[in-house]
């Protein structure tokens, strides 16, 4: 079956004619990772603990007490990992820089040994024709900065801008794509609200303060990067913006959507794209804070011109207003881990419902239409801004078959569905420039430890041997041809 024949099966009836079979020739077909989830080498080259080292070594914080000390040893195996991407045919790789590897105390000059690792990685990527995209912060705050107050404190934003400048000076000549923060919602609300992520604090006001200081950090870092990098470089922010759907058209359910949309999306895109927090957000949280931590000049500092916006998408949310018996819905069905504390300050009355449909191993419902809705929303929200899907993927309970191959047809179907949604958004005029599959390798999935496998490449955690799954080969074929193969077009995984 040819790619275009199989694709026509997934063409929504309302778009039959507008659907090109091929992606644009300049489209980036990438994979994404983050430092703490893959690097290991936790104590090498002067690296100090980040909040995730501390958190994962605290009993009861992660599944099985697992941590990233070794992770999948990418620090030592990066050449092999880059070769895997090149062999598959990927043309882009999004990775994060470990702040405590580069600036161990979160202050002062950069440690060259730490930067050298990323210089080598970038050199190998460029030599293999793979475009690097750097994320400066994927959740590994130096512990020393958390000890000084962490993201709820303004000083952390200044520290981040300094760190961004150091990395920009070192790598800005060869890396064109820069992302300041990954998913600041998780840093603020899972880190300081529900406490299921590092540093594990459970204070709703601290979470709101953290969100503001992450926004400030983004704005200050954007200016700092631009002051040291060539003008051709692109600076972006990656948001896990939520696709929030109402349970019904009941006004109480629509009000619930407003609250969650403000807390998940408007709290970041409001100041970053439009220069202000939504009035509905400050009103809904007025019982918690007067927002006096927002100082004069902050909105302008945050509202920097951006070159692109990164969107990370996994599953939509379905919400309603307060339950009729008055019971609060709470955060337990929102897909963000078990905690007695809510990651949604001021929205404790919102009820999260399980969305219907098949789910991944994370329990997240598979719904590619959410990715289409997200992209087209931001195409309207930020006209003229280039969009990238900077994360999308699925965890499954992958296992090698007796001859060592790893066949993951569910992930192929997931990728096919979501890439079809991207292509539909492109056909409808959205300026989507690339897609980064999460993730290149099975890795440390935060509080879930190593149990949830998101990789296109299987990692044997005993030997650290890598085996491309059949989804990796499927995705590689899409990357090489610019056309999605059919879901059955690639056989079992393995070398």
Q: Which residues are catalytic?
A: 183, 391
Taking the C-alpha atoms of residue 65 and residue 340, their distance in angstroms, rounded to an integer, is 20
CB 261 within 8 A of CB 220: no
Size of the site for ligand IFM (CB under 6 A): 8
For the chain, helix, strand, coil in percent to 5 are: 40, 15, 45
Query: How buried is 20 (Cβ within 10 angstroms: 0-12 exposed, 13-18 middle, 19+ buried)?
Result: exposed
List the structure tokens of 331.
């955060």
Residue 96 makes contact with ligand IFM by CB under 6 A: no
Residue 430 DSSP SS3: coil
Helix/strand/coil for 466: strand
CB of 263 to ligand IFM, least distance (A): 18
Nearer to ligand IFM, 334 or 445 (CB): 445
CB of 90 to ligand IFM, least distance (A): 18
Residue with tokens 């999004």: 94
Q: How far is the CB of 37 from ligand IFM (least distance, A)?
A: 6
On whether the CB atoms of residues 468 and 22 are closer than 8 A, the answer is no
Q: Which of residues 433-462 bind ligand IFM (CB under 6 A)?
A: 438, 445, 454
User: What number of CA atoms fall less than 13 Å from residue 111's CA on the CB side?
Assistant: 19
Nearer to ligand IFM, 165 or 471 (CB): 471
N-term to C-term CA, the chain: 23
| Distance separating alpha carbons of residues 269 and 286, to the nearest angstrom | 20
What angle is formed at CA 468 by the lines to CA 73 and CA 31, rounded to 5 degrees? 70
Strand 466-468 and strand 457-459: the pairing is antiparallel
Q: Do the bridges between strand 317-320 and strand 244-246 make them parallel or antiparallel, or are there none, so unpaired?
A: parallel
Alpha-carbon span 370 to 256, nearest angstrom: 18
To ligand IFM, the closest distance from the beta carbon of 320 in angstroms equals 25
Choose between 187 and 285: whose C-beta lies nearer to ligand IFM: 187
Q: Are 100 and 112 in contact (CB under 8 A)?
A: no
Looking at residues 160 to 189 of the shown chain, list those that interact with ligand IFM (rule: CB under 6 A).
183
Footprint (CB under 6 A) of ligand IFM, residues 32-51: 34, 37
Draw the binding track, 368-397, toward ligand IFM (x: CB under 6 A; -: no contact): -----------------------x------
The distance of closest approach from Cβ of residue 192 to ligand IFM in the complex, given in angstroms and rounded to an integer, is 17
Query: Which one, 134 or 255, has the nearer CB to ligand IFM?
Result: 134
CA separation for the pair 473, 479 (Å, rounded): 10
Give CA 475 to chain center in angstroms: 19
In angstroms, what is the minimal distance from the CB of 162 to ligand IFM?
A: 24
* Interacting residues with ligand IFM between 304 and 323 (CB under 6 A): 312
Q: Which of residues 195-254 bind ligand IFM (CB under 6 A)?
A: none
Binding mask 102-121 for ligand IFM (x = CB under 6 A): --------------------
The nearest distance, CB 495 to ligand IFM, in angstroms, is: 26
Looking at beta carbons only, is 98 or 312 nearer to ligand IFM? 312
Contact track, ligand IFM, 52-91, x by CB under 6 A:
----------------------------------------
| Nearer CB in complex with ligand IFM: 117/454 | 454
For residue 459, list its beta bridge partners.
466
Going by C-alpha positions, the residue among 409, 403, 395 that lies closest to residue 364 is: 395
With 0-12 / 13-18 / 19 or more C-beta atoms within 10 angstroms meaning exposed / middle / buried, residue 449 is: middle
Nearer to ligand IFM, 150 or 335 (CB): 335
* Subset of 250-279 contacting ligand IFM (CB under 6 A): none
What is the spatial distance between Cα 466 and Cα 495, in angstroms, rounded to a whole number?
10
**What minimum distance in Å lies between the beta carbon of 422 and ligand IFM?**
17
- Residue with smaller CB distance to ligand IFM, 156 or 312: 312
* Contacts with ligand IFM, residue ranges (CB under 6 A): 34, 37, 183, 312, 391, 438, 445, 454
């Amino acid at each position: 079956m040819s790619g275009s024949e199989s694709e026509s099966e997934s063409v929504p009836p309302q778009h039959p004619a507008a659907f090109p079979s091929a992606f644009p020739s300049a489209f980036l077909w990438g994979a994404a990772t983050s430092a703490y989830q893959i690097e290991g080498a936790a104590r090498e080259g002067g690296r100090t603990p980040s909040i995730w080292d501390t958190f994962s070594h605290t009993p009861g914080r992660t599944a099985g007490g697992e941590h990233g000390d070794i992770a999948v040893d990418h620090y030592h195996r990066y050449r092999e990992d880059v070769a895997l991407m090149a062999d598959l045919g990927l043309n882009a790789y999004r990775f994060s820089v470990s702040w405590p590897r580069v600036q161990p105390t979160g202050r002062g000059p950069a440690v060259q040994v730490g930067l050298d690792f990323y210089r080598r990685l970038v050199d190998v990527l460029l030599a293999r024709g793979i475009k690097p995209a750097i994320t400066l912060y994927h959740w590994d705050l130096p512990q020393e900065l958390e000890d000084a107050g962490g993201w709820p404190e303004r000083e952390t934003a200044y520290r981040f801008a300094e760190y961004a400048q150091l990395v920009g000076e070192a790598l800005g000549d060869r890396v064109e794509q820069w992302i300041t923060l990954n998913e600041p919602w998780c840093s603020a609300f899972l880190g300081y609200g529900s406490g299921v992520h590092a540093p594990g604090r459970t204070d709703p006001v601290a979470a709101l303060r953290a969100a503001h200081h992450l926004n400030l950090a983004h704005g200050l870092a954007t200016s700092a990067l631009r002051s040291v990098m060539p003008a051709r470089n692109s600076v972006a922010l990656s948001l896990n913006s939520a696709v929030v759907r109402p349970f019904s058209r009941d006004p109480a359910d629509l009000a619930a959507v407003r609250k969650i949309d403000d807390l998940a999306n408007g709290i970041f895109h409001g100041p970053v794209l439009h220069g202000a927090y939504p009035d509905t957000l400050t009103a809904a949280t007025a019982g918690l804070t007067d927002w006096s931590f927002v100082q004069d000049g902050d909105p302008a500092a945050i509202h920097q011109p951006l070159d692109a916006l990164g969107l990370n998408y996994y599953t939509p949310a379905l919400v309603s207003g307060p339950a009729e018996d008055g019971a609060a819905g709470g955060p337990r069905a929102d897909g963000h881990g078990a905690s007695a504390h809510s990651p949604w300050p001021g929205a404790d009355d919102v009820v999260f419902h399980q969305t219907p449909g098949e789910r991944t191993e994370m329990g997240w419902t598979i719904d590619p239409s959410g990715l289409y809705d997200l992209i087209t929303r931001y195409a309207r929200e930020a006209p003229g801004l280039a969009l990238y899907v900077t994360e999308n993927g699925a965890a499954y309970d992958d296992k090698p078959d007796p001859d060592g191959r790893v066949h993951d047809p569910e992930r192929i179907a997931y990728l096919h569905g979501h890439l079809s949604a991207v292509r539909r958004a492109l056909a409808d005029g959205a300026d989507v420039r690339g897609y980064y599959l999460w993730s290149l390798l099975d890795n440390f999935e935060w509080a879930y430890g190593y149990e949830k496998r998101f990789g296109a490449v299987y990692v044997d955690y005993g030997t650290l041997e890598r085996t491309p799954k059949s989804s990796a080969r499927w995705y590689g074929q899409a990357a090489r041809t610019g056309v999605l193969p059919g879901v059955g077009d690639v056989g079992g995984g393995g070398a």
